[in-house]
Amino acid sequence: MAKCYQHTETYCVKLARLVFAKERQDMVKTTILLNDIADFGSVNEVYKEFFKEPYPARTAYQAGKLPLGANVEIEVIAITGEVETSYVNK
């Protein structure tokens, strides 16, 4: 299983850089779909190596059977361009 996740991590980095031409710190939200939720611990270890603090927001859940026999599917949302941050205080 570790080899699968290692391959997935490498693929995701290349894909994200190709699509977004951005770095990891530009990724702000991930959604992780697992065939088996029991694999969450392994995925989480890879996630902590791949991303550094502050970690992107994340959702992870068991999806059942993923396409093409995949064990994990990862969706990434990244920021492009300038970002203005504002806060609402009560």
pTM for the complete prediction? 0.66
Query: CA 73, 76, 82 angle in degrees (round to 5)?
Result: 175
**Structural domains present in the chain:** 2-78 (3.30.1330.40)
Give the pLDDT of residue 37. Answer: 92
Question: What DSSP character marks residue 16?
Answer: H
- In terms of DSSP H, where are the helices of the chain? 2-20, 40-50
| 32-43: pLDDT as tens digits | 999 999 989 988
Give the CA diameter of the chain: 49
Q: Using N-to-C axis directions, what is the helix angle for 2-20 and 40-50, rounded to 10°?
A: 40
| 47-76: pLDDT as tens digits | 887 788 888 899 999 998 888 888 888 888
